[in-house]
Amino acid sequence: MNQMSGEDVNSDTELANRTQPVLPPIRQVEGREWWLWVFAVAVTLVLTFAILSLTFPGAHPQTDRIYALNLREWVRGLAALVLLFDIYTIYQHFQLQRVRRQLAERDRLFQLISENAADMIAVIDRNGHRIYNSPAYQTILGYSQDELNTTSPLQQIHPEDHALVLGAAEKARLTGRGERLEYRILHKDGSWRVLESTASVIRDAGGETEGLIVVNRDITERKRAEEALAHNAFHDGLTNLANRTLLLDRLGRALAISRRHADFKFALLFIDIDGFKVVNDSLGHDAGDALLIQIALRLMSCLRRSDTVSRPQPGNDDETTFGDSTLARPGGDEFVVLAEELRDPSDAIRVAERIREKLITPFDVDRHEIVVTASIGIAFSSDTSTEAQGVLRDAEIAMYRAKSTGKARCEVFDNAMHAGALKRLQLETDLRKGVERGEFLVYYQPIVSLRDGRIVGFEALSRWQRPEGMVMPNEFIPVANETGIILSINQKMLPEACRQLRAWQALFPSEPPLSLSVNISPKQFAQIDLPSQIGQLLQQGGMDPRCLDLEITETIAMADAERSAAVLAQLKALGVGLDIDDFGTGYSSLSRLQAFRVDTLKIDRAFVSRMDSDPETHGIVRIIVMLAHNLGIKVVAEGVETELQLDMLRDLGCERAQGYLFSKPADQETISKLLTTNRPGMSQVFAQGPQH
């Protein structure tokens, strides 16, 4: 308690020192007035007494008694009046004193409030001069009272805000009500502070404006925090580039300008880093992030020096804008350049070329040298889309085209792409509906032993039975894989194929028993629980694992060799066979395949179909078969269509074959019929009926 009151005393003294009285001290005034009043009352009393003394007995001769009596009455009346006047004066004096004290108390209260307030309070007269500044001015802006008293308020206000402040003051003067206003003011240290200010009008008795009371609050920190939040909402946290939201906003603005001005052209470059996932997976996410930052810096420098598409704008220090270009990172390994005010579409292609050149020099991440290429898609303002999202999508479609046609390329969006994209979107929707409606069927293509021509197994292949007709896998499998719909398709297809195989095994027993090959898509292979899924499939279907072969293309297997080795080892541990599908179309090394403990190579149809007409291809097939055998790997030839191919493959020692020569993929019914005639010399049997 004591401590508190001690503090109060201190702050009171401090306050008293700081106080800058608006009116002279009340006691002083009252003291002076007191003497004056005592003097006046004393004089009137003396005078009254003197007059009264005239009426005392003996003051007049007896003869004039009547006159004396009258005079006494008059004088007494006068004295009573003077006394009444004195009493009234005393009463008035006390009233005045009370009002004055009230005023003084209010004044003291105003000072107390203004001087203790964190806000800066100023009183400004009608000529715009400050007549009072609260001490907060000194604490917040660093100026002394003297400096404030000798300068005009406008002197410290940011020149760009002068009009704003003067306008607001004028408005307050006219309306009597001040509006909330934000403006910049110079701190003594030279920095700019942001003030939030409200003004109220002081009027005189006649209602005329005498001045303004302005309350200013320093909101610099709040502004900074708001700006930081706004920045975060529109920028990517990793690279500090514009994010998707800001990009779409700028793109929207560019579209609006291009609608108004026919000669305003812009281009959107969608840049995707090829194989970025490999860096992330092999070196870790931190390295991936570091690489993205370095790429962002290179792209920035590339655009900054751009003299083809960018006109440097002085004073524009936004790190994402370089002249008329905006660089954004909408997500992942994607970057987007919005190049505005192009003279010619070729300018955009030049920018794309410059970007690709800039990325050629390898990056150094954690002392790993990383070579990066980019696939770039370009969409122009003149293209079909009239919405920001649409232009972005067009550029992305073009980028996918660049990727699918060999990566490290640049593609310009065209209407055919747009139509293709729409078709693909429709396909996606239809695929989902197709899964729901159970429109997917399993077809089986026999795999024949070249030793005796008997069917030894089947490859399960999907078919999409739409009301409009049968759709082949090449049309829907890539989309189903990219969208993940393949997982739902397989979920139905695999158990059914396993059930069917068990039925055929029971009906047509053989040694070894009939086997089933199923294709594993990249999406499936990427699933962490693939081995357990396959394990479950075997268990639920009561399948002998030796009768199930999993086909993986060499491209999938080689994409992430380390992970593949681990997954393939897990699958192998289940006892299933591993086949490399479409061999020869990728870049795998045979020794790697041995490390993967692959059982079978399926030579791609492209080689088999040419081997009877092209000796060179025949030579390649011969070498593949030989090398595979040396590594203890069996060979299946895909797409055998002629007797000559069959003979050649048999001569080369190829174990098995599959192709139209034996049977096209067919439904379960057709295959069941075929199996009844399954005996040596199968190559003579062509499955009849509805085959695809």
Contact region with Mg ion (CB under 5 A), list: 240-248, 327-335, 526-534, 544-552: 544-552
Instruction: Give whichever of 378 and 480 is closer to ligand C2E, judged by the CB atom.
Output: 480
Smallest gap, in angstroms, from Cβ of residue 640 to ligand C2E? 6
Smallest gap, in angstroms, from Cβ of residue 383 to ligand C2E? 33
Instruction: Give whichever of 104 and 477 is closer to ligand C2E, judged by the CB atom.
Output: 477
135 is written with which tokens? 């001490």
Instruction: Give whichever of 549 and 551 is closer to ligand C2E, judged by the CB atom.
Output: 551
Residue 474 binding result from ligand C2E, Mg ion, none, given CB thresholds of 5 to 8 Å by partner type: ligand C2E
Smallest gap, in angstroms, from Cβ of residue 459 to Mg ion? 6
How many residues are listed for the chain in this entry? 692
Instruction: Give whichever of 555 and 594 is closer to ligand C2E, judged by the CB atom.
Output: 555
Smallest gap, in angstroms, from Cβ of residue 480 to ligand C2E? 8
Smallest gap, in angstroms, from Cβ of residue 627 to ligand C2E? 21
Residue 365 phi/psi, 5-degree rounding, is -120, 120
Question: What is the distance of C-alpha 607 from the center of its chain?
Answer: 48
Contact 446, 458 (CB under 8 A): yes
Smallest gap, in angstroms, from Cβ of residue 664 to ligand C2E? 6
Question: What is the distance of C-alpha 81 from the center of its chain?
Answer: 90
- The helix or strand, by DSSP H or E, that contains position 664, with its residue range, turns out to be none
Residue 473 binding result from Mg ion, ligand C2E, none, given CB thresholds of 5 to 8 Å by partner type: ligand C2E
Smallest gap, in angstroms, from Cβ of residue 313 to ligand C2E? 52
CA of 544: how far to CAs of 191, 203, 502, 541, 636, in Å?
Answer: 80, 100, 9, 9, 21
Residue 576 binding result from Mg ion, ligand C2E, none, given CB thresholds of 5 to 8 Å by partner type: none
Instruction: Give whichever of 133 and 553 is closer to ligand C2E, judged by the CB atom.
Output: 553
Residue 84 binding result from ligand C2E, Mg ion, none, given CB thresholds of 5 to 8 Å by partner type: none
Q: How many residues bind Mg ion (CB under 5 A)?
A: 5
Instruction: Give whichever of 243 and 519 is closer to Mg ion, judged by the CB atom.
Output: 519
Q: Which of the 8 DSSP states describes residue 547?
A: G
Smallest gap, in angstroms, from Cβ of residue 472 to ligand C2E? 5
Instruction: Give whichever of 443 and 504 is closer to ligand C2E, judged by the CB atom.
Output: 443
Contact flag: residue 582 with Mg ion (CB under 5 A): yes
Smallest gap, in angstroms, from Cβ of residue 621 to ligand C2E? 15
Count, in order, helices (H) and strands (E) of the chain. Answer: 25, 22
Instruction: Give whichever of 299 and 518 is closer to Mg ion, judged by the CB atom.
Output: 518
Smallest gap, in angstroms, from Cβ of residue 528 to ligand C2E? 18
Contact region with Mg ion (CB under 5 A), list: 362-370, 446-454, 505-513, 550-558: 550-558
Contact flag: residue 554 with Mg ion (CB under 5 A): no
Say which amino acid occupies 134. S
Q: Look at the block and give the residue holding tokens 């990066």.
A: 372
Instruction: Give whichever of 375 and 445 is closer to ligand C2E, judged by the CB atom.
Output: 445
Residues numbered 127 to 166 that lie near Mg ion (CB under 5 A) are none
Instruction: Give whichever of 212 and 477 is closer to ligand C2E, judged by the CB atom.
Output: 477
Instruction: Give whichever of 187 and 492 is closer to ligand C2E, judged by the CB atom.
Output: 492
Contact flag: residue 280 with Mg ion (CB under 5 A): no
Residue 477 binding result from Mg ion, ligand C2E, none, given CB thresholds of 5 to 8 Å by partner type: ligand C2E
The C-alpha atoms of residue 395 and residue 336 are separated, in whole angstroms, by 9
Among 161, 340, 581, 655, binds Mg ion (CB under 5 A): 581
Contact 83, 48 (CB under 8 A): yes
Q: How many CB atoms lie within 10 A of CB 662?
A: 23
Contact region with Mg ion (CB under 5 A), list: 516-524, 610-618, 621-629, 663-671: 516-524
Contact flag: residue 519 with Mg ion (CB under 5 A): yes
Q: How many CB atoms lie within 10 A of CB 605?
A: 18
Instruction: Give whichever of 48 and 462 is closer to ligand C2E, judged by the CB atom.
Output: 462
Say which amino acid occupies 160. E
Smallest gap, in angstroms, from Cβ of residue 638 to ligand C2E? 6
Smallest gap, in angstroms, from Cβ of residue 334 to ligand C2E? 27
Cβ burial 144-181 (10 Å sphere, 16+ → b, else e): eeebbeeeebeebbeeebeeebeebbeebeeeeebeeb
Q: Which of the 8 DSSP states describes residue 142?
A: -
- Strand (E) positions, 389-543? 410-412, 440-449, 455-466, 469-471, 515-519
What are the residues binding ligand C2E (CB under 6 A)?
445, 461-462, 472-474, 477, 486, 493, 519, 521, 551, 581-582, 605, 638-641, 658-660, 665
Contact region with Mg ion (CB under 5 A), list: 7-15, 346-354, 377-385, 547-555: 547-555
Smallest gap, in angstroms, from Cβ of residue 342 to ligand C2E? 42
- Closest to 661 (Cα-Cα) out of 632, 691, 634: 691
Contact 269, 395 (CB under 8 A): yes
Q: Look at the block and give the residue holding tokens 């000194």.
A: 138
DSSP state string for 573-638: HTT-EEEEEEETSS---HHHHHHTT--EEEE-HHHHHHHTT-HHHHHHHHHHHHHHHHTT-EEEE-
Instruction: Give whichever of 99 and 472 is closer to ligand C2E, judged by the CB atom.
Output: 472
Contact flag: residue 551 with Mg ion (CB under 5 A): yes
- Closest to 107 (Cα-Cα) out of 37, 180, 176, 24: 24
**Strands 656-657, 600-603: parallel, antiparallel or unpaired by DSSP?**
unpaired
532 is written with which tokens? 């357990």
DSSP state string for 63-121: GGHHHHHHHHHHHHHHHHHHHHHHHHHHHHHHHHHHHHHHHHHHHHHHHHHHHH-SSEE
Contact positions vs Mg ion (CB under 5 A): 519, 551, 581-582, 638
